[in-house]
Structure 1
Amino acid sequence: MEQQGARGRGALLDLTPLTQSPAFARLWAGRSVASIGSQLTLVAVGLNVFALVRPESGAGAATFAVALTGVFALVPTILAGLYGGMLADAFDRRTVALVSALVSWAATIVLAVLSWTGTETTASLYVLTVVTACAATVLVATETAATPRLLPARLLPAASALNGVGIGLAVTAGPGLAGVLVAAVGFAWCYTIDAVLFVGTLVAVLTLPPLPPEGRVERPGLASLRSGLAFLRSAPNVRASFVVDIVAMTFGQPRVLYPAVGAVTLGGGPITVGVLSAAFAIGALVSSVFSGRVGAVRMQGRAVERAIQVYGLCTVLFGAVLLVAAVGAATGALPSPAGPAWVALAAVALAGAGAADNVSAIFRSTILQTAAPDSVRGRLQGIFIVVVTGGPRVGDLYAGALAVTGVLFLPPLVGGVLIIALVTLIAARSGFRRYDALRPTS
């Protein structure tokens, strides 16, 4: 069902939030530019760990080592999200965002220095990934909690779609560029470019207006956390949006497989890693470009359910491509590795997953921003970011552990089926399908 006035909306991206709020426009632009560098580092760190471990331990163990990059950051990221959300509710959100941005920037600079001097180790890569993940969690939670203070509620779906464009551009350009840079000039350039581009985030945060807390302020601590969790327990729709996303991210994140897929199954090495990573982002970008009508969707819970079901199906298709390539190589029907045509098929499946994930993210973000009051929005955004960042890291462990068997198609094939089944069950039993944007209830 559509909201009143939907017929007047075009299919293309709604740019109204950028003209309505200069502060939001600056934040969006700075964050979009800086995100390109973040994606450079994300891909480069995985390839760096893989390159350090593979010569001695083989592709399977190296893939698991790549998975540990995310796993080690899981608990610290959870703590950072929870505490960062409390900080965002208790202090000026501009100040909280600025401090966390500076910490992330400093860690990236250290990473670049270690790489240029040839002194990076798997341990240093793990530690610096933890630091940047924690700082980024606080930063994103704070910025997102501040968005409803910069825009009216009717423009929040369009703002989420714009964020999808920024992320899509970053994840499209970043991984592809990372693959080329790593192959051509090495890891250090990726980390250095990230440090330079991150200045965009610093400028954007510095130019935000003051954003002091509104309503009742609770000092960060266990009492504040309990208060936020109590609200979440009383908010079935917000809670369901978190749970379905955990399912999708846990069982539908095959990114740790990319280095091994590029080296063993499909071929192409770092270039294939960049292509597969970029494909997901291209799907998200295309869905954002044609998101003009998202503000007209009333039944946003049902929209989330359907989007995640499509995400699960595309994950299954990606696993099927790897399965056919592996069986074909084993029987002699296909070359080993399979080659560019199979890389393209895998990329198409991942593009579909990216598009579906972005649609889900637009509506989940809107539900949280409209259903939660400002006084607890920071804490809920912290929990939301924990879900968004923690889920994929659990997924890294899931995929990496199964990949040790050498059967690379198994994680996405099984995971996609689980996503479809579990999300359908959760949406049916929770009543999440009935969430109405015209009558938002937490």
Structure 2
Amino acid sequence: MAGAVTSFGSFLTMIALPLQVKELTGSAFAVGAIGAVQLVPLIVFGLYGGALADAMDRRTLILLTELGLGLLTVLLLVNSLLPHPMLWLLYVVAGLTSALAGIQQPALDALMARIVPHDQLTAAAALNSIRWQLSAIVGPSVAGLIVAFAGLPVAYGLDLLTFVVSTLLAVRLAAAPPAHDAQRPSLAGIWAGARYAWQRKELLGTYAVDMVAMFFAYPNAIFPFLADDLDATWALGLMYAAGSVGSVLVSLTSGWTSRVYRHGRMVAAGAALWGLAMAAAGALPNIWLVLLCLAVAGGADMISGLFRSTLWNQTIPDELRGRLAGIELLSYMTGPQLGQVRAGSMAALTSVRTSVWSGGVACVAAVGLLAASLPKLMAYDSRTNPHALKVRAARAAREASPAAQ
């Protein structure tokens, strides 16, 4: 519930912040540069946040970072009320928000596999996605109306309110202390997690597929300009929400995923379909067809994401889960940030629609090359993979122990 509330508010700001940069500069490159500003803090603090999630109480870490994110929203609200809002402050807040999100997300991700039965992780990922995607639908749709009719300060103010509510709800989370022999966060500990990930070529494959898909085919930063190009500024909120509609439809009908065991193949297939749909969205001139393509893209991304999440959670040992969650964060967050930079730069050099469709085509080609060069990812089978069998056995042993009972 805390996640649903805070996600709704975050999507309000996700619309308001690039729109404010657009209003202040009129530059697609300046809007895309938000992604560049967020990239370095995400890399540094995502890795450190993973080490923290293995070394301290995850509930405490979540609460502290939620409070910090709320304070940053206060800065956005105050800045929007100034006669001449400061552009540089928007970039500073974007970078700090990225840093705190990098610290928080591994702790959130590491909780699921500890409390959900091993064979229900795909279903849990689908349910978790539903609450996030519903916020992604309602948030952008409402944000477009709020910004258009009430202004940026109201959008930021509502986001601040959601942080207050989500923090009060998060207080009710059960404590999630680290293992009794957990080490203090250190570069050596982070390196141990990275070394484990490097040895797991199927894990590396999921990271690589997701990163190239987002790098080439994540044009969200230039949606305001695409809406202008399609003469449909009224549909900006719908453009941001369309992908989430497709994601929710896939999540609500995801019972079939429990009968699929070749997770790596589904990760690649979903990413390729994402690229195809984005290419079509950039080429089509009708706003309703564009919205349909964005919905298809969102559904395809959800298919890839569900099987990525299942593969990760079913094969990573609990004592490494926080650090690996930090690495996972880099894979699924760094790609979109770089994708915003690519989309904005390409739009500035060519045109907005060329940036969108060419990125989709490049995504399909890159995923195809990765699928051909990653045999372990394509051969992964959850029924026979030794890492999945080991984690399943360890989970069963813990549940059968007298301490667990």
Same fold (TM over 0.5): yes
**Who is 1:132 aligned against?**
97
Q: Which residue, 383, 386, 411 being the options, matches 2:355?
A: 411
The amino acid across from 2:17 in the alignment is V
1:336-384 Cα shifts (integer Å, max 9, x gaps): xxxxxx1111111111000000111111111111111011111111111
Answer yes or no: is 1:201 the counterpart of 2:145.
no
Residues 31 and 200, structure 1, Cα contact 8 Å, conserved in 2:
no
Judged with a 3 Å threshold, the aligned counterparts in structure 2 of structure 1 residues 173 and 251 are, in CA distance, closer, same or farther, namely same
Answer yes or no: is 1:423 the counterpart of 2:367.
yes
Answer yes or no: is 1:365 the counterpart of 2:328.
no
**Superposed displacement of residue 81, structure 1:** 0.3
The amino acid across from 1:205 in the alignment is A
**Who is 2:256 aligned against?**
293
In structure 2, stretches of 5+ residues that fail to align are 388-405
Q: Which residue, 208, 211, 216 being the options, matches 1:251?
A: 216
Q: Which residue, 367, 380, 391 being the options, matches 2:324?
A: 380
**Superposed displacement of residue 385, structure 1:** 1.0
Q: Which residue, 109, 123, 126 being the options, matches 1:158?
A: 123
Residues 215 and 375, structure 1, Cα contact 8 Å, conserved in 2:
no
Q: Which residue, 256, 262, 268 being the options, matches 1:305?
A: 268
Mapping of residues 317-356 of structure 1, within 5 Å: 317-321=280-284, 325=285, 342-356=286-300
Mapping of residues 34-433 of structure 1, within 5 Å: 34-54=6-26, 62-214=27-179, 216-263=181-228, 265-269=229-233, 271-321=234-284, 325=285, 342-431=286-375, 432-433=377-378
**Superposed displacement of residue 440, structure 1:** 3.9
Q: What is the alpha-carbon distance in structure 2 between the residues aligned to residue 138 and residue 298 of structure 1?
A: 32
Answer yes or no: is 1:33 the counterpart of 2:5.
yes
Q: What is the alpha-carbon distance in structure 1 between the residues aligned to residue 103 and residue 260 of structure 2?
A: 30
Q: Which residue, 365, 377, 383 being the options, matches 1:438?
A: 383
Residues 41 and 102, structure 2, Cα contact 8 Å, conserved in 1:
no
List 4+ stretches of structure 1 deviating above 6 A.
Answer: none
**Partner SS, residue 180 of structure 1:** helix
Judged with a 3 Å threshold, the aligned counterparts in structure 2 of structure 1 residues 141 and 309 are, in CA distance, closer, same or farther, namely same
The amino acid across from 2:6 in the alignment is A
Q: What is the alpha-carbon distance in structure 1 between the residues aligned to residue 196 and residue 242 of structure 2?
A: 38
1:381-400 Cα shifts (integer Å, max 9, x gaps): 11111221111110111111
Residues 370 and 440, structure 1, Cα contact 8 Å, conserved in 2:
no
Once the two structures are aligned, what percentage of the paired residues are identical? 34
Aligned residues: 386
The amino acid across from 1:411 in the alignment is S
**Superposed displacement of residue 106, structure 1:** 1.1
In structure 1, stretches of 5+ residues that fail to align are 1-28, 55-61, 326-341
The amino acid across from 1:433 in the alignment is M
RMSD, aligned α-carbons: 1.5
